[in-house]
């Protein structure tokens, strides 16, 4: 038995002295150095009691050791579970209790809070920007070789939490085959090679920044300009020496706001990719007018990795997400039955990229993953007669702001717990920079309660990107004859 993900992404680079990660401080980690560091960290995980199949929760800064830790978890046969660094202590408590990890790796400054959550149930290790974290320090003295743990293709490699409209986050179980098949499809389709240099300014706690960007770079042997976060000046300075960039729509709107973005600046770039949120047609057009480059938009989900992509060679149409990836089937359905081309229906997907189900949620898995292998995405779309997919809306009330998925029910539950609030409805409205902005309509029991007072009580319980940008105090929520809140009415009323 082999470990197909490690064998494909990491093992081939043991003697590769080419640069892999180029960091903000100017230092470089070679591919061979990365393989060695992965092994050292795998030893630390094993010594900490991690066994094959155990979860390793990671809420840590964007560092080279954080990426190496992902590789170490794969090599050690563990299940890598990255968490948004903005999650609050109450949110983190839920994830740790639900996933029952053997080890939790956090920012050194958060060690006290995380240890209090874990108690004796998990070992806590730390990472720090200056290399002083306990995980890094322990790894420094470990051997640079590790006996790779054998894993079957359907064994879990990662567990990523994605909230649902019920408010309770769901852990999407992703196998070695899920991750590798998607990386292979994207690397081939986007023609990524060892000659590429990728600008990486994305977070590494979700599918886009970790599995799309890093896995394809590893598979191809490409160089990665690994940035702590998005900064316009840094991006502008790195574009001339780079060939590839993956970003969210916000990246492109902010670049368009800088006069230094010109055709000459991007002359060496061969591909700009956008995902994680809908790219506005006007952004697509403005970027092409300014640079001569047509952004390649693709579509994916936590549960499926990438599903479709506009073509590398061929027309990239604004407002569409392209064609199903090789080896991936996409069908548009109405109550499970395929509809005719050109008709709106539910997007369903089947293939090696589709996850194994939801952690500890067999009922939710059965509800969203058909016996036929098709996953019900919750997104509404249209398939053209040539197979090109366009997304026209979301059946669920998902809000996507700045590339982050935000689920209204989770926020509503927190608002409704505020004393003096009768009920609330959270919804998204268009935002030129972030794609969508979060608003909350609130009905009060206590008329003296102010929106500032509500915000003050809500904010400690939610990551900042989930905070409503505005609270609309109203006498009643609009409802249909069945009593269901009409969020479409709220969106229409407040979109201006």
Class of domain 399-494: alpha beta
What does the angle CA 359 – CA 362 – CA 368 come to, to the nearest 5 degrees? Answer: 95
**What distance in Å separates the CA atoms of residue 65 and residue 70, rounded to the nearest whole number?**
9
- Per DSSP, the three-state class of 439 is strand
Measured on CA atoms in the order 330, 335, 338, 341, is the torsion positive or negative? negative
Residues forming beta bridges with residue 404, ordered by sequence position: 401
pLDDT in tens, the chain (496 residues): 799 999 999 999 999 999 999 999 999 999 999 999 999 999 999 999 999 999 999 999 999 999 999 999 999 999 999 999 989 888 899 999 999 999 999 999 999 999 999 999 999 999 999 999 999 999 999 999 999 999 999 999 999 998 544 457 899 999 999 999 999 999 999 999 999 999 999 999 989 999 999 999 999 999 999 999 999 999 999 999 999 999 998 899 999 999 999 999 999 999 999 998 778 788 899 999 999 999 999 999 999 999 999 999 999 998 899 999 999 999 999 989 999 999 988 999 999 999 999 999 999 999 999 999 999 998 888 999 999 999 876 666 778 888 887 878 789 889 988 999 988 999 999 998 888 999 999 999 899 999 999 999 999 999 999 999 999 999 999 976 445 678 888 988 998 7
Q: What are phi and psi of 443, to 5 degrees?
A: -105, 130
Closest CA to 40 of 115, 145, 126: 145
**What distance in Å separates the CA atoms of residue 29 and residue 38, rounded to the nearest whole number?**
12
100: left (phi over 0), alpha (psi -120 to 50) or beta: left
Cβ atoms of 74 and 5 within 8 Å: the answer is yes
pLDDT given for residue 484 in this prediction: 64
Tokens of 211: 């599995």
Closest CA to 442 of 427, 425, 459, 456: 425
Q: How far is Cα of residue 250 from the mean position of the Cα atoms in its chain? A: 15
Q: Where are the domains of the chain?
A: 399-494
pLDDT given for residue 164 in this prediction: 46
Reported pTM:
0.85
Using CA atoms, how far residue 282 sits from 230, 288, 295, in Å, is 22, 10, 12
Measured on CA atoms in the order 406, 408, 409, 410, is the torsion positive or negative? positive
User: Contacts from 189-193 at CB under 8 Å and sequence distance 24+?
Assistant: 189/309, 189/311, 189/312, 189/325, 189/326, 190/216, 190/244, 190/271, 190/273, 190/296, 190/309, 190/312, 191/312, 192/216, 192/217, 192/219, 192/220, 192/222, 192/244, 193/220, 193/221, 193/222
pLDDT tens per residue, range 210-235: 999 999 999 999 999 999 999 999 99
Using CA atoms, how far residue 438 sits from 240, 316, 407, 491, in Å, is 36, 30, 10, 10
Using CA atoms, how far residue 307 sits from 105, 142, 181, in Å, is 31, 39, 11
């Amino acid at each position: 038995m082999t470990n197909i993900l490690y064998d494909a992404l990491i093992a081939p680079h043991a003697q590769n002295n080419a640069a892999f990660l180029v960091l903000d401080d100017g230092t470089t980690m070679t591919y061979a150095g990365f393989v060695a560091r992965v092994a050292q960290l795998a030893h630390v995980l094993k010594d900490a009691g991690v066994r094959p199949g155990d979860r390793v929760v990671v809420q840590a800064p964007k560092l080279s050791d954080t990426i190496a830790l992902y590789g170490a978890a794969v090599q050690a046969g563990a299940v890598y579970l990255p968490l948004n660094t903005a999650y609050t202590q109450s949110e983190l408590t839920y994830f740790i209790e639900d996933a029952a990890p053997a080890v939790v790796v956090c920012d050194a400054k958060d060690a006290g809070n995380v240890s209090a959550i874990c108690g004796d149930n998990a070992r806590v290790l730390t990472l720090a920007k200056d290399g002083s974290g306990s995980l890094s320090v322990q790894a420094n003295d470990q051997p640079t070789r590790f006996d790779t743990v054998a894993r079957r293709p359907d064994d879990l490699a990662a567990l990523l939490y994605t909230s649902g409209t019920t408010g309770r986050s769901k852990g999407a179980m992703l196998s070695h085959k899920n991750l590798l098949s998607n990386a292979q499809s994207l690397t081939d389709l986007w023609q990524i090679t060892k000659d590429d240099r990728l600008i990486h300014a994305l977070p590494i706690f979700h599918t886009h920044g970790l599995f799309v960007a890093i896995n394809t770079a590893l598979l191809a042997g490409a160089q990665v300009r690994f940035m702590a976060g998005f900064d316009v000046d840094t991006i502008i300075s790195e574009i001339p020496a780079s060939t590839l960039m993956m970003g969210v729509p916000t990246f492109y709107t902010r670049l368009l706001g800088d006069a230094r973005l010109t055709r000459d600046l991007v002359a060496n770039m061969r591909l700009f990719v956008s995902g994680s949120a809908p790219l506005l047609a006007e952004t697509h057009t403005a970027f092409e007018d300014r640079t001569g480059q047509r952004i390649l938009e693709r579509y994916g989900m936590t549960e499926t990795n990438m599903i479709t992509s506009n073509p590398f060679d061929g027309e990239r149409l604004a407002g569409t997400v392209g064609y199903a990836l090789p080896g991936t089937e996409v069908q548009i359905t109405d109550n499970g039955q395929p509809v005719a081309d050109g008709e709106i229906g539910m997007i369903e997907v089947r293939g090696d990229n589709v996850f194994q189900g939801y952690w500890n949620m067999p009922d939710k898995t059965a509800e969203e993953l058909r016996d036929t292998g098709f996953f019900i995405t919750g997104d509404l779309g249209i398939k053209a007669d040539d197979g090109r997919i366009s997304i026209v809306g979301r059946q669920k009330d998902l809000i996507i702001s700045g590339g982050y998925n935000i689920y209204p029910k989770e926020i509503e539950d927190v608002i409704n717990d505020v004393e003096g609030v009768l009920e609330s409805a959270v919804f998204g409205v268009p935002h030129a920079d972030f794609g969508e902005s979060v608003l909350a309509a609130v009905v009060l029991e206590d008329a003296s309660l102010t929106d500032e007072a509500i915000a003050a009580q809500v904010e400690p319980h939610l990551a900042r990107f989930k905070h409503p940008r505005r609270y609309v105090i109203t006498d009643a929520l609009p409802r249909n004859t069945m009593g269901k809140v009409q969020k479409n009415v709220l969106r229409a009323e407040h979109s201006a």
